[in-house]
Amino acid sequence: MKKEQVLARLKEDCLVAVVRAKDLDQGEKVVDAIVAGGINFIEITMTMDDGDPVEFIAAMSKKYKDNDKIVIGAGTVLDPETARQVILAGANYVVSPGLNVETIKLCNRYRVPMLPGVMTPTEAITALEAGCDVIKIFPGNIVGPSAISSFKGPLPQGEFMPSGGVDVDNVDKWLKAGAYAVGTGSSLTKGAKTGDFGAVTAKAKEFVEAVAAARAK
């Protein structure tokens, strides 16, 4: 999928599911449960207790290659070496908890959207200058939805996606504040810890409905 298509779809869907898998088997069940709940953007993190997350990305990319709704990405990417690995494995976008300019350059080379994590205006400006189209605000629970308007005051050209602390009961506040999209992880997937993947699907549906309701206002 081309970079422009990924960004357009991200803005349209407004919702990214962050998957921190225990292992490949559990991870696949989590992804399937999330997809069943209607979330199309899946961010598979590089933090996995047992197994190779790059292999996991490759497997999910292959599994859903004929479903043009599903967009597989990689999260917790800390360096350009890992970024190249996940892109070659099939990741359509790359996300990081921090800002690494060399990682951004690598993703630009392959024309893959790179969303670096920032907490300060200086970091946001650096990300913009490096060519990032959407910037991740992380951890979102530390700063809250007002951070969007605070960033957009001096940087109206910036687009921001919060991650961390985003839940069904506050997603409307983030979108009202001007978020390009939102990322959610632990609140969405906590049912997987006890093997209750039905709860993951139910929560995914709640998120989809909450986002739709917020955008309809």
Beta strands 114-115 and 15-19, pairing class: unpaired
Residues counted in the chain: 217
Q: Is the peptide bond before 121 cis (omega within 30 degrees of 0)?
A: no
| Residue burial 30-56, b: 16+ Cβ < 10 Å; e: rest | bbbbbbebbbbbbbbbbebeeeebbeb
Q: What residue has token string 């005051």? A: 153
pLDDT at 59: 98
Per residue in 129-184, pLDDT (tens digit) is 999 999 999 999 999 999 999 999 999 999 999 999 999 999 999 999 999 999 99
Q: Is the pTM of this model over 0.85?
A: yes
What's the rounded Cα separation, in Å, for the pair 90 and 54?
Answer: 9
Q: What residue has token string 């479903």? A: 67
Q: How far is CA 147 from CA 76, 96, 144, 162, 189, in A?
A: 22, 18, 6, 9, 25
What are the residues whose beta carbons fall under 8 Å from the beta carbon of 204, sequence distance 6 or more?
17, 33, 34, 36, 37, 38, 39, 188
Per residue in 150-163, pLDDT (tens digit) is 999 999 999 999 99
pLDDT at 217: 80
pLDDT at 167: 96
Regions of the chain with pLDDT less than 70: none
What DSSP element (H or E) covers 46?
A: none
What's the rounded Cα separation, in Å, for the pair 88 and 132?
Answer: 20
What's the rounded Cα separation, in Å, for the pair 146 and 130?
Answer: 25
Beta-bridge partner residues of 71: 41
Residue pair 204/184 in contact by the 8 Å Cβ criterion: no
